[in-house]
Amino acid sequence: MTIDERIISKYTFSVPRYTSYPPVPYWKITPTAQQWLANLTLDQKDQKDQKDQNQQEVQVQVYVHIPFCHALCPYCGCYRVHLPSGTVDNQLQLIDNYLDDLLREWTLYLDALEERDIDIRKWKVQMHIGGGTPNILSAQQLARFLDSFFRDKKGHKIRCDYGSIEINPTYLPLNTNSKAATDDDFFQVLASFGFKKISLGIQDFNPHIQKIIGRNHSADLIEDLVVQIRKQGFEAINFDLICGLPGQTLFDFNYNIKQLERLRPDSVAYYNYAYIPTHAPLQQRLQEFAMMDDKDKFSSQIFVAQQMQSLKYLAIGLDHYVLQDDRLANAYRQGKLIRNFMGYSVGTNTSAAGVPTSIGILGIGASSISSSKKYFVQNHKDLAVYHQSLMAGQLAIARGHTRGDLDLLVDTIIQEIMCYHQVSNLNVRIEQLVSLSQGELTDTKLLQRLDDMQKDGLIELQYKNSFLRVTALGKFFLRNVALAFDYLFERAQRKSENDLQQGVEFSRTL
């Protein structure tokens, strides 16, 4: 693939990552807790009815956020909290208190379901535990939390259909004191509760890059971990890596690819580094290290994509590579791949048009985001505020959004682009966009934008077949292709009407 600097500079700017539509900075009209619960259970009730009619499974995705970290890595932009120094007993107690809050929040959901006569034992729950550092929990804490979580109010077991967890390999093993468990015990607990996937946050295998970003895990340590995880019978191992970290050069990618070839994880998320120092002030500490320019970043992304292809990985969505028999590869082939706040996963819910949707996430924990078809809500980030709300018997909702028909239509289009690199029924959708936006979007404007991207080689348009296909080049600018349909981004760009919340930025395309 040739590198055209004009294309790089034209399409490299701050763009949403589209893990939701609308993205968080555009949110407005926060639902009340009552509205949120009523609508969420209504969505689930619809699925239940659908199950009765079609014999389909009722599934719900649960995201659990563990915000604590042993140390704060300077490159990181996640919501996380430095575990205060003190005795290990004190630290474990603080984590225990937080786990109690998580269970209080979950109980509020169980109460709401019970009130509406929905039997959670008929659900198949898919849980993802993220952070922060989920493996900051001891094995005993993890077991206590999962055992309480996967029970209804009468103590009956709830089914865990699929579980995945993020692990920071720097802090394994977990035997930090005599009371805590070993990493073996930690993985055994996960396996016993139906967890199938372990995601290792490696970021970069090169020791000199790890030093810059505050990590310390050799390739040998990762290999030991992979052996151990496989021995426990987990279905899948994912590696998270980052392209564009401070200090990285094109040469560093060779070493990373060699490790992927050697260790062969089931999937790899090779993210583009989200450098937003105004949002994540610790990133300012990294300014002394050279960052690749856009051209080198683009070259490294091309290198990674080509190498992953030669290693027989399938490229799906944005930045994701999966082995051909991985669960996400099957979902991609079957049209069940979805993108939401948790990244890519397998969807079972479908829109009226039969397209997989991102509805139905319960986000548990400080800062967690939940979604139903109509609403988004996000919990308070402040641990004290989160705790106080739950102690008062209330969900800790800090903000949210109420989606209208136009939002849902744009969401469906963007899902298709971000998962499958295409838009089907293009002509109909353009008509619907123009009609629902009541003049804000015109077909002339939309078609001009699409034609322009076609001339630049990012997409191919077949108006006759009502189809848009993202090209190999366009896959590196997938967010830009999605942007063409994002009426709120365009509205925010117009100076006269600034919908963006103060101080929020998106990461750059490259």
Partner residues linked to 272 by β-bridges:
243
With respect to ligand SF4, which residue has the nearer C-beta, 186 or 313?
186
Is residue 277 reached through a cis peptide bond, with omega within 30 degrees of 0 on the bond before it?
Answer: no
With respect to ligand SF4, which residue has the nearer C-beta, 98 or 123?
98
CB of 17 to ligand SF4, least distance (A): 17
Assigned token pair, 355 = 């397209």
CB of 368 to ligand SF4, least distance (A): 14
Token look-up 């800062």 returns 367
With respect to ligand SF4, which residue has the nearer C-beta, 72 or 492?
72
With respect to ligand SF4, which residue has the nearer C-beta, 38 or 282?
282
Q: How many C-alpha atoms does 296 have within 13 Å on its Cβ side?
A: 15
Assigned token pair, 345 = 């996963």
CB of 67 to ligand SF4, least distance (A): 8
With respect to ligand SF4, which residue has the nearer C-beta, 167 or 331?
167
**Of the candidates 414, 396, 260, 273, the residue with the CA atom closest to the CA atom of residue 322:** 260
Which burial class, exposed, middle or buried, applies to 281 when counting CB atoms under 10 A from its CB (0-12, 13-18, 19+)? Answer: exposed
CB of 166 to ligand SF4, least distance (A): 8
What string of DSSP letters covers 149-162?
HTB-TTS-B-EEEE
With respect to ligand SF4, which residue has the nearer C-beta, 41 or 379?
379
Q: Cα dist. 140→55, 222, 225 in Å? A: 38, 24, 20
Q: Cα dist. 121→39, 57, 86, 152, 386 in Å? A: 20, 12, 40, 7, 27
CB of 68 to ligand SF4, least distance (A): 8
With respect to ligand SF4, which residue has the nearer C-beta, 256 or 372?
256
Partner residues linked to 461 by β-bridges:
468
**415 with 422: CB under 8 angstroms?**
no
Helices (H), 264-363: 294-310, 327-334
Which pairing describes strands 320-323 and 313-316: parallel, antiparallel, or unpaired? Answer: antiparallel
CB of 217 to ligand SF4, least distance (A): 11
Q: Which residues bind ligand SF4 (CB under 6 A)?
A: 69, 72-73, 76, 78, 80, 131-133, 168, 201
Beta carbons within 8 Å of 416's beta carbon, 6+ residues apart: 355, 422, 423, 424
CB of 58 to ligand SF4, least distance (A): 32
CB of 241 to ligand SF4, least distance (A): 13
With respect to ligand SF4, which residue has the nearer C-beta, 37 or 242?
242
Is residue 132 reached through a cis peptide bond, with omega within 30 degrees of 0 on the bond before it?
Answer: yes
**Of the candidates 26, 21, 507, 7, the residue with the CA atom closest to the CA atom of residue 277:** 507
CB of 335 to ligand SF4, least distance (A): 33
Q: How many CB atoms lie within 10 A of CB 384?
A: 9
Which three-class secondary structure state does DSSP give residue 113? Answer: helix
With respect to ligand SF4, which residue has the nearer C-beta, 78 or 99?
78
With respect to ligand SF4, which residue has the nearer C-beta, 213 or 260?
213
CB of 132 to ligand SF4, least distance (A): 5
Assigned token pair, 83 = 């575990």
